[in-house]
Chains A and B, each alone.
Chain A
Amino acid sequence: MKLHEYQSKTIFAKYGIPIPKGRVAATAVEAKHIAEELGGRVVIKSQVLVGGRGKAGGIKVAKSAAEAEGLAQQILAMEIKGLPVRKVLVDEAAAIEHEIYFAITNDRAAKKPVMIASAEGGMDIEEVAATKPEKIIKVHIDPLLGLRDYQARDIAASIDLPRDHWREFSKIAAGLWQAYLETDATLAEINPLVITKDKRLAALDGKMMIDDNALFRHSDLNEMRDIDEEAPAETEARKFGLSYIKLDGNIGCMVNGAGLAMTSMDIVKLFGGEPANFLDIGGGAGSDKVAAAMKIILSDSNVKAVLFNIFGGITRCDEVARGILVAMDEVKPKVPMVVRLVGTNAEEGRKLLENAKMITAETLADAAQKAVQAAK
């Protein structure tokens, strides 16, 4: 789950990381009031869950409250990479002397958290990583020990941070580590962490991602989810523990297991079709989950045929068949459906579907070809 900048910075502040004064606004008038409180000179920042806001014109500096209102009006009318801007963050403008990149994320290859820092922070950090990798400092953290003070000092020294700032930087590093740890983040990123003209450190921008698998122990964070920024079908899918991504094709796919779901899409494409979605019902799905999945697939009006590819392991094919029957009864689908059941309780599943007027298939290639044919 991605958090907005303003949410991420609120969390940072809780862990002692200095952030600029500011608040979030949903209208230009609110933005104006906040700007007045902050003394006029502010930054208006669109709050959408995509990168590249600055380059898209979604971040502007205002010299007065009146200008802030006008800019907020503009930005609130924008769409950035297809996402409408619904909120802006109004932050007091900082006089920046230097920009640092500072983040913690999971290094899956090393199986450890890694702290990343660069003296060349800002919008072009990926360019720096690609062209001047020596300017990117990476320090792995032992997950059982946590961040040690010496590691934070090492990072400060490696990015040539003036010594006057080391203590403050160590505090920020410790705060970032705690924020990452206690929210089960997969990413906690400050870009830029700035040295201001009056020689203070401040996190001007923040980005956090939270591990969906850990949300069971973070009900407070779960409430921060911005469902306005998701396709409604994806929100619905998550409610049932389904993993669904809408695509542009016309063959709906319901598969168990992410690898097999991707493979089913690959093979549909290989035989000349276009998948309408990625949908993984997960392991051990019961009939209610399957019925929900089917309704989500059929809610997409582009869908001209549905391919069910179920290879039972922990999932039982008879449960899936029952879910299909429940959904068929409720939705009364008009598109052709191709079903392939193999593995655990496949025989029972096939029997249940005998009278359901579905096209059956033996192999994966056979199923994909029949679905492509049926969608024509």
Chain B
Amino acid sequence: MSILINKNTRLLVQGITGNEGLFHSTQMLAYGTNLVAGVTPGKGGEWVLDGKVPVFDSVKLAKEATDANCSVIFVPARFAPDAMFEAADAGIPLVVCITEGVAVQDMMRVRSYLDNKGVRLVGPNCPGMLTPGESKVGIIPGNIAIPGNVGVVSRSGTLTYEVLYALKLVGMGASTCVGIGGDPVNGTNFIDVLEMFEHDPHTEKVVLIGEIGGTDEDKAAEFIASKMTKPVVSFIAGQTAPPGKRMGHAGAIIEGGAGTAEGKVKALQAAGVKVAKHPEEIPSLLK
């Protein structure tokens, strides 16, 4: 078992003929992901990846032909909002946006629209998801994780890889790893994923990787204290980061003193979470 993606996930790649799209589609297919279609406007009718994957002009056409139920987006930042709207309008229930650098006002409109449609968004600016041995949606290198009972959720990309790799080195595996992305406005948040892990029978322990900024880790701590029965281990990046450049008075008014690594660590510890000093310490805290 797993959350969000498994061997039944029928994946569509938006931007499949671009550099990054093609490279990572090759990796996803090689991993065993059920990659059913690609979309690049103007290239409909072509086949890519040694003739294994058909390309369509639009998500709607791809969905009609292949019944894809998840889309992963690799298009450049200025086109990514449109790609997310398109996937939602075509009836794709799970949209994963890898693209980094999407404008925040665009993301607020995307988030609002997708919420109204009941579409689940993961990202943007995220590494995607990996259910080891079943499905890889995004860019997490497949060979750094093995199947297991640890659910991993993270705001960071490459830091997530460190943790999966550290787990693998001691023979521990992941049920599913979800990279939710580090942008100020994104889709799925920590609490959404923690709730799914709590209800997933194959997830026995959870690793939460956070970083400075925002209040998501603090909210996750509240959720863990009140709703979670499974043990959670955490790491917060940015404990030595210099104080961020200030955002006028408005930032301070909205977020108050929240957002520091120290505050997040305290909140998580108060919720019974073991917090690692560095990512490679996580496996020993899970034992």
Contact = CB atoms under 8 A, between A and B. Distances in A.
Nearest to A145: B112
Interface in B62-116: 77-78, 98, 100-109, 111-113
Nearest to A51: B246
Contact of B237 (A126, A266, A311, A343): A266
Interface residues of A, number: 67
Given A209-B248, A211-B103, A258-B182, A129 B253 contact: yes
Contact of B280 (A191, A255, A364): A364
A266 B144 contact: no
Given A257-B158, A266-B238, A343-B144, A109 B215 contact: yes
Interface in A14-58: 51
B104 A186 contact: yes
Contact of A263 (B108, B140, B279): B279
A346 B161 CA distance: 13
Interface stretch (B1-9, B36-44, B206-214, B267-275): B206-214
B156 to A, nearest CB: 3
Interface string B235-272: 10111111000111111111110000000000000000
B24 A314 contact: yes
B99 to A, nearest CB: 9
Interface in A236-291: 245, 247, 255-260, 262-263, 265-267, 269-270, 275, 278, 282-284
B141 A259 contact: no
Nearest to A187: B248
A223 B279 CA distance: 41
Contacts of A142: 112
In this complex, the member of B98, B127, B158, B280 whose beta carbon has the largest number of chain A beta carbons within 10 angstroms is B158
Contacts of A343: 141, 144, 158, 161, 165
B252 A211 contact: no
Contacts of A260: 156-159, 162, 237
Nearest to A106: B104
In this complex, the member of B106, B139, B235 whose beta carbon has the largest number of chain A beta carbons within 10 angstroms is B139
A313 B157 contact: yes
B181 to A, nearest CB: 10
Nearest to B19: A284
Nearest to B247: A187
Contacts of B102: 213
A129 B252 contact: yes
A266 B249 contact: no
Interface stretch (A60-68, A111-119, A351-359): A111-119
Contact of A184 (B27, B103, B252): B103
Contact of B247 (A105, A213, A247, A257): A105
B10 interface: no
Given A107-B254, A275-B240, A313 B248 contact: no
A188 to B, nearest CB: 9
A259 B78 contact: no
Contacts of B253: 116, 125-126, 129, 136
B78 A217 contact: yes
B125 to A, nearest CB: 8
Nearest to B278: A267
Given A126-B253, A129-B253, A105 B248 contact: yes
Nearest to B238: A262
Given A111-B112, A186-B104, A284-B20, A125 B249 contact: yes
Contact of B250 (A189, A267, A364): A189
A314 B128 CA distance: 11
In this complex, the member of B102, B111, B216, B237 whose beta carbon has the largest number of chain A beta carbons within 10 angstroms is B237
B172 interface: no
Given A259-B157, A266-B239, A105 B252 contact: no
B114 to A, nearest CB: 11
A72 interface: no
B232 to A, nearest CB: 18
Contacts of B216: 109
B139 A313 contact: yes
A211 B207 CA distance: 32
A344 B98 CA distance: 16
Contacts of A363: 166, 280
Contacts of B255: 108-109
Contacts of B251: 105, 187
A311 B158 contact: yes
B141 to A, nearest CB: 5
Interface in A288-347: 311-315, 342-344
A144 interface: yes
A207 interface: yes
A95 interface: no
A262 B241 contact: yes
Contact of A342 (B78, B144, B279): B144
B136 to A, nearest CB: 11
A364 B103 contact: no
Given A262-B212, A364-B280, A283 B248 contact: no
Contact of B113 (A106, A144, A184, A207): A144
A179 interface: no
Nearest to A189: B248
A52 to B, nearest CB: 10
15 contacts: A51-B246, A106-B104, A106-B105, A106-B184, A109-B214, A144-B113, A181-B105, A213-B102, A247-B242, A259-B157, A260-B157, A263-B235, A266-B237, A283-B100, A313-B127
* Shortest 4 CB-CB contacts between residues of A and residues of B: A259-B156, A257-B158, A214-B103, A105-B250
Given A113-B108, A216-B77, A217-B78, 5 more contacts: A103-B249, A187-B247, A187-B251, A207-B248, A314-B157
